[in-house]
């Protein structure tokens, strides 16, 4: 049984890691580390954890930590992981960063979109992009993973097969993202204030979201041609759930059924991707609190477009669940270990 530490103990990413790892047979949460609230019991902040975790949260002690645990999950705000990671000297330590620090391979791109100093190029080069289904081989060899963003997870899983198989034209792709509000984290803001987000759909960061370069980098990689996309995001009055509805020009004649078959074959060894049959699209609730990505496909012959929707739980497949899936791959365990649970419904 391997020991894990979670850094950033009071955010939603950490909470979800704790919940999921309770069911994992090979990972034990050894330490929860919180800069702002070390010394406190986590259940005093999150009463739903009462009776599950007795030990108070710890302060980060880098030297000690890397001897005590085997795996470190960073569920930290932007900019934290890139400062801490270079201080770990234990070469066997497995690190998975759920923040955006290491997702873009280019420092310039990072600084343009994030408005902060980038990690060193060395660190960026070392990190493997952890979209489990698309980069499994690289992940198995890595000990530093940059866990994907929630929107990129949905968009890339939804678009990669169509682009790789040249069903969709690389030009003119539009991605309409819709997310539950937990995606904005736990800090109360006007954008997450119940009275204003309830009974409301709020478009935000139109054309300016930091997930744009991430989607484009890995989509270009898979399509083997540079791709730019129009990407929008909308806050939806629900806590969890994320769906990207995606539109592109058909690059060659194909029926809905033919494209579905290509997708089924593309993902046939990927237990967390489920392709709907023709005429059926996934709802976000179909994957609630689970690690699944459910995909619906429609070839719109009239407009010569292909429409794809990919639904995930933003906190599971879009964050903590995929991080654990990556830990499973890195350690040669079954990919589904601790994660193959039925979504909560209704």
Give the residue, chosen from 37, 105, 220, 228, that forms a contact with its own copies under the rule CB under 8 A.
228
Contacts with 66 (C-beta within 8 Å, 6 or more apart), sequence order: 72, 88, 89, 90, 93
- 54 contributes a contact to its own copies by CB under 8 A: no
- 106 contributes a contact to its own copies by CB under 8 A: no
- Min CB(300)–its own copies separation in Å: 5
CA–CA separation, 127 and 103 (whole Å): 8
- 252 contributes a contact to its own copies by CB under 8 A: no
Indicate if 95 belongs to the active site: no
**DSSP letter assigned to residue 4:** E
Count of residues interacting with its own copies (CB under 8 A): 88
Residue whose structure tokens are 């108070």? 56
The DSSP line for 303-333 is: TTEEEEEEEE-TTIIIIIHHHHHHHHHHTT-
Tell me whether strands 27-33 and 94-97 are parallel, antiparallel or unpaired.
Answer: unpaired
Nearer to its own copies, 143 or 238 (CB): 238
Site for its own copies in 266-305 (CB under 8 A): 271, 274, 276, 280-290, 294, 296, 298, 300, 302-305
Site for its own copies in 124-153 (CB under 8 A): none
Nearer to its own copies, 252 or 302 (CB): 302
Give the containing element (helix H, strand E) for 269: none
- Min CB(239)–its own copies separation in Å: 5
CA–CA separation, 190 and 36 (whole Å): 23
Q: Among 82, 86, 88, which Cα is nearest to 66's?
A: 88
Tell me whether strands 242-249 and 305-312 are parallel, antiparallel or unpaired.
Answer: antiparallel
- Min CB(238)–its own copies separation in Å: 5
CA–CA separation, 236 and 200 (whole Å): 7
The DSSP line for 69-102 is: -SEEEE---TTSHHHHGGG---TT-EEEE-SSTT
- Min CB(306)–its own copies separation in Å: 8
- 22 contributes a contact to its own copies by CB under 8 A: yes
- 46 contributes a contact to its own copies by CB under 8 A: yes
CB atoms within 10 A of CB 345: 11
Judged by DSSP in three states, 276 sits in coil
CA–CA separation, 335 and 272 (whole Å): 9
Site track for its own copies across 165-204, x = CB under 8 A: -------xxx-x-x-xxx-x-x-xxx-xxxxxxxxxxxxx
Give the residue, chosen from 56, 77, 79, 343, that forms a contact with its own copies under the rule CB under 8 A.
343
Q: How would you class 262 by CB atoms within 10 Å of its CB: exposed for 0-12, middle for 13-18, buried for 19 or more?
A: middle
Q: Which listed range, 12-20, 26-34, 94-102, 116-124, lies at the site for its own copies (CB under 8 A)? A: 12-20
Nearer to its own copies, 86 or 188 (CB): 188
Site for its own copies in 229-248 (CB under 8 A): 229-230, 232, 234, 236-241, 243, 245, 247
In sequence order, what are the beta bridge partners of 297?
A: 308
Kindly report the length of the chain: 346
- 207 contributes a contact to its own copies by CB under 8 A: yes
- 36 contributes a contact to its own copies by CB under 8 A: no
Q: Which listed range, 47-55, 75-83, 157-165, 259-267, lies at the site for its own copies (CB under 8 A)? A: 47-55
Nearer to its own copies, 43 or 136 (CB): 43
Nearer to its own copies, 43 or 140 (CB): 43
Q: Which listed range, 103-111, 115-123, 148-156, 338-346, lies at the site for its own copies (CB under 8 A)? A: 338-346
What positions carry a catalytic annotation? 150
């Amino acid at each position: 049984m391997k020991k894990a530490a979670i850094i950033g103990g009071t955010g939603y990413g950490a909470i979800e890691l704790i919940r999921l790892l309770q069911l994992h047979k090979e990972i034990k949460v050894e330490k929860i580390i919180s800069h702002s609230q070390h010394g406190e019991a986590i259940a005093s902040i999150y009463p739903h954890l009462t009776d599950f975790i007795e030990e108070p949260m710890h302060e980060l002690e880098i030297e000690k930590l890397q001897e005590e645990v085997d795996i470190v999950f960073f569920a930290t705000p932007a900019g934290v992981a890139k400062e801490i990671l270079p201080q770990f000297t234990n070469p066997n330590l497995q690190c998975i960063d759920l923040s955006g620090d290491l997702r873009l391979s280019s420092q310039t791109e990072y600084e343009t979109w994030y408005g902060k100093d980038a990690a060193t190029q060395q660190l960026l080069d070392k990190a493997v992009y952890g979209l489990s289904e698309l980069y499994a081989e690289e992940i198995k060899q890595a000990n530093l993973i940059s866990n994907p963003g929630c929107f990129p997870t949905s968009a890339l899983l939804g678009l990669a097969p169509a682009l790789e198989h040249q069903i969709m034209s690389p030009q003119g792709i539009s991605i309409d993202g819709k997310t539950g509000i937990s995606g904005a984290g736990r800090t109360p803001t006007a954008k997450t204030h119940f009275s204003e987000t309830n009974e409301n759909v709020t478009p935000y960061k139109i054309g300016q979201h930091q997930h744009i370069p991430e989607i484009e980098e890995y989509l270009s990689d898979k399509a083997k041609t540079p791709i730019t996309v129009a990407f929008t995001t909308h806050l939806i009055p629900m806590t969890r759930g994320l769906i990207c509805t995606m539109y592109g020009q058909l690059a060659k004649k194909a029926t809905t059924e033919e494209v579905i078959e290509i997708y089924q074959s593309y993902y046939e060894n990927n237990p967390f991707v489920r392709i709907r049959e023709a005429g059926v699209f996934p709802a976000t609730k179909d994957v609630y609190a689970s690690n699944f990505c459910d995909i619906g496909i429609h070839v719109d012959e009239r407009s010569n477009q292909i429409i794809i929707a990919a639904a995930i739980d933003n906190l599971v497949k879009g964050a903590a669940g995929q991080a654990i899936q990556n830990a499973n791959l890195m350690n040669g365990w079954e990919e589904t270990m601790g994660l193959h649970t039925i979504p909560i419904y209704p």
